[in-house]
Each structure stands twice: as structure tokens, then as C-alpha cells.
Amino acid sequence: MSEQTAGASAGERAYNPRLELYKGFWKRFKKNKSALVGGIVVLFFILVAIFGPMLVSTDPNATDIANKLQPPSAEHWFGTDNYGRDIFARIIHGTGLTLIVGFVSVMIGGIIGVLFGIIAGYYGGKIDTVIMRLMDVLLAFPGILLALAIVSVLGGSIQNMIIAIGIFSVPAFARIVRGSTLSVRKLEYIDAMRALGASDFRIIFKHVLPNVLSPIIVQATLRIATAVLTAAGLSFLGLGAQPPTPEWGAMLSAGRSYMAESPHMILIPGIAIVLVVLAFNIFGDGLRDALDPKANK
């Protein structure tokens, strides 16, 4: 009898709800083959951004006019641009810059948007009305136009581009978090915590926020793709990264004058942008399905 009791106790101790939650998530996620491929591509670009500059010794800004507009070859894998700069080296160094812009701008927009959304959803009333009308004003402008207006006021630079993309990302996070918070705040255990005297700060950040993390994670992943595309667009228009910074959008802008004679100048950075944006979108869709508690196991 004692051995059976000991075995049952060991089994109870071995059960880890959080571990089972992660296992369920992974089981659902790996069923989505396209999302798995998207995640691998995202991981690949992250590794390139971290280790690529250390493995490529060529200076991305080193000019060699004698070898300008060279097609892809054994010496220059992706060819050279109009200044003779190695496009492969510029793509590798530009990967880190592209991902930094995407991650940092989304982090800024996410932090501000989550705070606005969770406050609006938790308190409701006039606070909710004021915050959400402000978000509606921002949503009234197409994202790229809002970013263009902000960068035009602040000036063209990577830092201002990040700020602009972060600002236009705020409403998306705020609306999603507000909707999730409205559902969570009606749960009985939230009322119980309030009845026990827990402060609003404790309830919001210890009990409400952990329950709305899933949509935040999914939105952040999808938003990175939008941020990368917007950053490339701003740089293409000359309002983002300034020459000779190896930014993919700026590389596209520089190559548009040589489309006929040297199409590799726009094809290679264009393909890189498409791959990153597509990978994050597919990966985000997979996360959304895997994190859905109603998903079929």
C-alpha cells in the first residue's frame, strides 16, 4: 500500500502543468509545416545577423570603381554595385540592421500599445473612451503615410525611422490587448483578487497581463514583418537609412537606376526583403494557431 502511495505521489510531482502546456504548443505548432519552415527561415536570418559580419571579412562600404556593376561571380557572390561595393557583404551586414529596426520598433510600439490597451480595458469608462479615440485617430492614417509624416518632421535617420514605425504600431497592440483584457477582467478569480484587497497594479501585471500574452506574441511577430517592409520603403524614399549604410531598402533605391544593365542590384535585396517578410508572416500565423487554446490537438 505504501509503495502504491509513494508511486502516486511521485507521479503527481512529475506532472508539470507548464511543461505540458509547452508540449501541447509544440505539438500543434509542428503540425503546421509551412509555419515550421517560416520559423527556420527566421532563425536563419537571426543567425546571419549575429554571426554573418564576423564571418565576412569584406568591408561593405569599401568602393572599387574598377569593378563596379559586376554580375555575380566566384569572387563576388552577389555581384557589385555602382560603386564597386560587394553586394554579398552589404546584404550580410544589412541583415542585422533590418532585424534591429524591426525588433526595436515593434518593441517600442508593443510596450506603449500594451500599456494603453490594458489600462483602457481594465478601467473602462472615460479612460477607455479617451485612449481608444486616440488610437482611432492614429488608425485613420495608413501606416506608411503616418510613418512618412513622422519621419518628415523628425528628419531622415535610422533612429527616427524606428520611432516612426514604433508609433504607428501602437494602435494595433492597444486594440488587441484591450479586447483580451475586457474578457479577462470579467473572470471570477479577478473579482476574488479585488475582494481580497489586491491593488490594481498587482492585478494588472500579475494576473491580467500573463493571460493576454498569447495575442501580444502573435501580433509582435506579424508586426515585425510590417516594420521591415515599412523600413525598406522609407529607406527607398531616402527618409530612412542614409548612404552608405548597407540597408536593403536603400540598396533597392540605389539599384533602380541600373535595372536594365545590372538587375542583380535590385533583385538580391528585393529577394532578401521578401524572404524575411514572408517568413515572419508565416511564422506568426503558425504561432497564432498553436497558441489558440481552442485548437484541435
DSSP 53-73: HHH--S-TT---GGGTTPPS-
Three cell numbers written together for 211:
493571460
Cα–Cα distance, 52 to 272 (Å, whole number): 15
Other Cβ atoms within 10 Å of 244 Cβ, number: 16
Cα–Cα distance, 72 to 271 (Å, whole number): 15
Three cell numbers written together for 21:
502546456
Sequence-separated (6 or more) residues with CB below 8 Å from residue 84: 63, 64, 65, 66, 67, 68, 70
Degrees to nearest 5, angle at CA 236 with 135 and 222: 45
Which has the closest alpha carbon to 269: 104, 127, 90? 90
- CATH of region 41-60+72-291: 1.10.3720.10
Domain extents in the chain: 41-60+72-291
59-68: long-range contacts (C-beta < 8 A, 24 or more apart)?
A: 59/89, 60/85, 60/86, 60/89, 60/90, 60/92, 60/93, 60/94, 60/246, 61/85, 61/244, 61/246, 62/86
Cα–Cα distance, 284 to 103 (Å, whole number): 14
H or E stretch covering 232: helix 213-236
Which has the closest alpha carbon to 179: 128, 239, 126, 130? 128
Task: Give the Å distances, CA to CA, from 280 to 169, 171, 225, 284, 290.
Answer: 16, 20, 6, 6, 15
Other Cβ atoms within 10 Å of 54 Cβ, number: 8
Q: What is the pLDDT of residues 163-185, one digit of tens each?
A: 999 998 999 999 999 998 988 88
C-alpha dihedral, 58 to 64 to 68 to 72, nearest 10°: -20
Low-confidence ranges of the chain (pLDDT < 70): 1-22, 24-25, 292-297
Q: 287 and 218 in contact (C-beta within 8 Å)?
A: yes
